[in-house]
Structure 1
Amino acid sequence: MATAIRNPYLEGNFAPVSDEVSAEDLPVTGTLPAGLNGRYLRTGPNPVAGERGEGHHWFIGQGMVHGVRLRDGRAEWYRNRFVRGDAPEDSPNTNVLAHGGRLLTLVEGGGAPVSLAPDLNTMATWDADGALSSGFTAHPKIDPVTGEMHAINYLIDPDADHLRYVVLDATGKATHSAELPVSGVPMVHDMAMTATRVVVLDLPVSLSAEAAGRLAAGTPRAGDALPMRWNDARPSRVGVLPRGGTAEGIRWFDAPRCYVFHVLNAYDTPDGAIAMDVVRYDTVFRDVPRGPADSLPALARWTIDPGRGTVSEQIMSDYGVEWPRINQELTGRPHRYGWFGGVGPESLRLSDDVDRDRGGSFEPGPLVKFDTTTGAVSTHHFGSGRVTQEPAFVARPGAGAEDDGWILSVVHDGNTDRSELVVLDAADITAAPLARVHLPRRVPFGFHGNWIDDNEIGA
């Protein structure tokens, strides 16, 4: 009798949770910094029963947001809520952030954002007065000086023939939109922005007609719920255009042959080039279609030189990292430090009863800080069986140094199957945690989140 193929993205702490929980006055070990007054919010896919079939992919499933309210040194509450917009399909699952006084959950590929109330109990689809009715991105970039939000959006649609570049002002009003022609529906998960330019990623992962056809016919194979695949025939390139520009102003350059989910940051250099730090994979969705488990990610610096028409690559560290974050006040400007979730060789978890072309998962690890000036790497290991994913940097009020602040991240304890919100000193992540907020349940491995200060949403 054939052994059933497991899906590791429905097991362990990848598995969804079934209910919504509210808990008050959470226990804290250590002392929460008095400057943390706001909410730590995190989201990810939490697939319901009908979304867990043979074709299931880690990136697909109804969104669930998890929130922890901190104020005056107390952890006032934890809540988790399914994301529900105005229609059943409106359930973004990839990122949650604040812009224009709103809390927004985001997804790429065609879904509009959903706006959340500060208590997470009411929600509504929000499309910026129709400007985002055809979808948005999970990774817009917000300029810390102007407050503008820049986004590169794509549709998972075989008839799509362009990306859409959208700019929203600091209030959330759309001020610019431009179609950028492309072929073959590339998967554009992130983008880069400098003080003057935008960088578009058109890399060798695109819509697979075969996977999309199987999905439409109701006969999906592993991972077909997200019908994007590595495409050996597709070139790897980046496009550079002025901020607020159009297709007429874009210039395309050949790029290293790889895939990039996430950009740490990018900035203009004095000689007119762009320095752009990315987390790159040799391939994704080629060998393992259910998640990004083909190869380990690496931090690289791409130097885009428009004068020479080149993109050069320097691998910055041999330490596997993902979920990159900076001090967001430096978005589009020169940075020194990055904070990451670390991954190692054990992250590609494959067992004897999981075929490599069907199984394999992407396992989190320690927290990592990288100094782009010296190349120094420091890590915080949370203990046996305890791992984290994406960090969030929060500047200390009145901070002068780039890393003067705190790192917040959710840690899963595999020994107890519970989670904590852990606060570290961003300048010295090797030190013992400043505080650990004990959550009433585990928070499944998801994708992205942010610290939302009270003054960002007026609550």
Structure 2
Amino acid sequence: MTTAPARNDYLRGNYAPVEEEVSLSQLPVVGALPRELNGRYMRIGPNPTGTPDPAIYHWFSGEGMVHGVRLYDGRAQWYRNRLVRAEGHSPNTNVLAHGGRLLALIEGGASPVELGPDLDRMSVWDCEGALAGGFTAHPKIDPVTGHMHAVSVRPPHGGARYTVLDGDGAVTHVSEIPVDDHPMIHDMALTESRVVVFDLPVTLAAGMRNAQAGLPVSNFPFVWDDRHPARVGIMPHLGSAQQIQWVEVPRCYVFHVLNAYDNADGSLTLDVIRYDEVFIRDLHGPGGSVPTLVRWVINPATGNVDERVIGDYSVEFPRIDERLVGRPHRYGWFAGVGAHGIKITDGVERLHTKESLETGPLVKVDTVTGRTEVRSYGPGRVTMEPAFVPRPGGEAEDDGWILSVVHDANTNLAELVVLDAADIHAEPIARVFLPRRVPFGFHGNWIADSALL
């Protein structure tokens, strides 16, 4: 008798890794690239090497690979992809610029890796040892001060750490925040005056209990924890654990925050992507659950949390105009979930037909009116995380471009597509044809030339 190999959707189709590192110059373009786009579009995600065991492989655990497209003066000068390798570190979750450095990030015990602008060099950057114990994939940069705020979990003890880096990348503040059970803290929120820490029921402690009980496990040890509370901690910028105020929130998990801001009455508004639960039915990734955009209005004085669903489409990978981080915003751009998306009926429908988390169309949401616009890229074509790039001199919040990598299942290739952020239904401004597919990964950002040393 033979046993059929385990099925793992995160190793199939466009989740599967690519094997070769390639470089290609002078990419073909349809349309006209805006000449103001001088920089690099960078994307990163897991790209496991060797032969991962499908029975235990988790999407979050693969080695990192970065994909880059260089745009300059209306031309697409090159595409390159490189595995992130530096002194045993292989971050796979986010790639962004700060302090003139291009950084690949992951949460947990691995330090950031600094990438050369042309992906020609890589080295661990731990800020002179200050980040040697690990960092986060989702810091927030205050658009007024230029300071980077980060909340991370530090193995092996699992406590949270709040770190602030100045605009040059030097650590100026560190506070330790005790939390139980080693929770998975993937993102944080920042307002003009406050920091929000997420302490939610996905923990290492639950994963260890499951393993000890002989339950199925993956090589990513965090799972849903019925014993752990769902709460957020609110404290001032440059605050300490003694100043944090914990508020219970609806029982859920949050991977990603759209934005947060202070209100005049002392409350704060927090727009997040909420999962009712995660890592229960799907132990290999966040599939099996439906993400929903919700708004929490939190009053720290009373502990009251008001929640309402925004829009009528299931979404992930939220993005705003980064100049509004911590300030009131109106628009958000997202990757819709599923090949055609999932409608949310009265905030409660929970339809999901695939085990993996599969993105689909581009979604734009007006968080003031709730109006939801959905832009399909065509049959078999799905977008990854969008990035908003403001038009120089533009005044409207959506005056700019949306850049995203689109996977075309018809050709098994990828494109970098540029849309008008104010009119996502218009024909693409430009399509840059990439020489290969880009596996479904996590995060991508536009890195302007002015952001690098």
Normalised to the residue count of structure 1, the TM-score between the two structures is 0.93
In 2, distance between residues paired with 1:440 and 1:16? 15
SS in 2 for 1:362: coil
Q: Of 271, 277, 292, which residue of structure 2 is paired with 1:298?
A: 292
Q: Which residue of the partner structure matches residue 219 of structure 2?
A: 225
Deviation at 1:370, TM superposition (A): 0.3
Q: Which residue of the partner structure matches residue 105 of structure 2?
A: 106
Deviation at 1:309, TM superposition (A): 1.5
Counterpart mapping for 1:129-140 below 5 A: 129-140=128-139
Q: Which residue of the partner structure matches residue 118 of structure 1?
A: 117
Superimposed CA distance per residue, residues 308-364 of structure 1 (whole angstroms, 9 cap, x where no aligned partner): 11222111123000000000000000000000000148779xxxxxxxxxx921111
Q: Of 379, 383, 403, which residue of structure 2 is paired with 1:384?
A: 379
In 2, distance between residues paired with 1:303 and 1:395? 28
Superimposed CA distance per residue, residues 47-86 of structure 1 (whole angstroms, 9 cap, x where no aligned partner): 111544531100111110000000000000000001011x
Residues 3, 50 of structure 1: alpha-carbon distance in 2 compared, 3 angstrom cutoff: closer
Q: Which residue of the partner structure matches residue 302 of structure 2?
A: 308
Mapped pair 1:281 → 2:266: no
Contact 1:55/1:220 (8 A) holds in 2: no
Mapped pair 1:456 → 2:451: yes
Residues 213, 297 of structure 1: alpha-carbon distance in 2 compared, 3 angstrom cutoff: closer
Contact 2:262/2:269 (8 A) holds in 1: yes
In 2, distance between residues paired with 1:322 and 1:189? 14
Mapped pair 1:200 → 2:197: yes
Q: Of 303, 313, 319, which residue of structure 2 is paired with 1:319?
A: 313
Contact 2:69/2:80 (8 A) holds in 1: yes
Contact 1:99/1:171 (8 A) holds in 2: yes
Q: Of 164, 178, 182, which residue of structure 1 is paired with 2:179?
A: 182
The one-letter amino acid paired with 1:398 is: G
Contact 1:296/1:344 (8 A) holds in 2: no
Contact 1:190/1:261 (8 A) holds in 2: yes
The one-letter amino acid paired with 1:449 is: G
The one-letter amino acid paired with 1:182 is: V
The one-letter amino acid paired with 1:418 is: L
Q: Which residue of the partner structure matches residue 350 of structure 2?
A: none
SS in 1 for 2:154: coil
Unaligned runs of 5+ in 2: 343-353
SS in 1 for 2:43: strand
Deviation at 1:213, TM superposition (A): 8.4
In 1, distance between residues paired with 2:339 and 2:359? 11
Q: Of 138, 157, 161, which residue of structure 2 is paired with 1:164?
A: 161
Deviation at 1:221, TM superposition (A): 4.3
Q: Which residue of the partner structure matches residue 233 of structure 2?
A: 239
Q: Which residue of the partner structure matches residue 401 of structure 2?
A: 406
In 2, distance between residues paired with 1:140 and 1:28? 33
Contact 1:369/1:379 (8 A) holds in 2: yes
Superimposed CA distance per residue, residues 103-145 of structure 1 (whole angstroms, 9 cap, x where no aligned partner): 0000001110000010101010000111101000000000011
User: How many matched pairs?
Assistant: 441
The one-letter amino acid paired with 2:99 is: G
Q: Which residue of the partner structure matches residue 355 of structure 1?
A: none
Residues 117, 34 of structure 1: alpha-carbon distance in 2 compared, 3 angstrom cutoff: same
Q: Of 400, 410, 413, which residue of structure 2 is paired with 1:415?
A: 410
Which stretch has the larger CA shift, 145-154 or 203-212?
203-212
Q: Which residue of the partner structure matches residue 421 of structure 2?
A: 426
Contact 2:127/2:169 (8 A) holds in 1: yes
SS in 2 for 1:366: strand
Superimposed CA distance per residue, residues 198-238 of structure 1 (whole angstroms, 9 cap, x where no aligned partner): 000001100145558859xxx9945x211001011111000
Mapped pair 1:57 → 2:46: no
Q: Which residue of the partner structure matches residue 351 of structure 2?
A: none
Contact 1:337/1:369 (8 A) holds in 2: yes
In 1, distance between residues paired with 2:363 and 2:155? 33
The one-letter amino acid paired with 1:450 is: N
Q: Which residue of the partner structure matches residue 6 of structure 1?
A: 7
The one-letter amino acid paired with 1:226 is: F
Q: Which residue of the partner structure matches residue 364 of structure 1?
A: 359
Residues 100, 339 of structure 1: alpha-carbon distance in 2 compared, 3 angstrom cutoff: same
The alignment-based identity, stated in percent, is 59
The one-letter amino acid paired with 1:197 is: R
Q: Of 257, 262, 265, which residue of structure 1 is paired with 2:256?
A: 262
Contact 1:211/1:220 (8 A) holds in 2: no
Q: Which residue of the partner structure matches residue 46 of structure 1?
A: 47
SS in 2 for 1:84: coil
In 1, distance between residues paired with 2:211 and 2:301? 45
Q: Which residue of the partner structure matches residue 68 of structure 1?
A: 69
CA RMSD of aligned residues (A): 1.8
In 1, distance between residues paired with 2:450 and 2:17? 32
The one-letter amino acid paired with 2:63 is: Q
Contact 1:296/1:345 (8 A) holds in 2: no
The one-letter amino acid paired with 2:374 is: T
Residues 213, 115 of structure 1: alpha-carbon distance in 2 compared, 3 angstrom cutoff: farther
The one-letter amino acid paired with 2:59 is: W
The one-letter amino acid paired with 2:307 is: E
Q: Which residue of the partner structure matches residue 154 of structure 2?
A: 155
In 2, distance between residues paired with 1:287 and 1:346? 22
In 1, distance between residues paired with 2:9 and 2:435? 24
Contact 1:186/1:206 (8 A) holds in 2: yes
SS in 2 for 1:13: helix
Contact 2:133/2:155 (8 A) holds in 1: no
In 2, distance between residues paired with 1:366 and 1:155? 36
Counterpart mapping for 1:10-25 below 5 A: 10-25=11-26
Mapped pair 1:144 → 2:143: yes
SS in 2 for 1:293: coil
In 2, distance between residues paired with 1:69 and 1:4? 40
Residues 64, 53 of structure 1: alpha-carbon distance in 2 compared, 3 angstrom cutoff: same
Residues 52, 170 of structure 1: alpha-carbon distance in 2 compared, 3 angstrom cutoff: farther
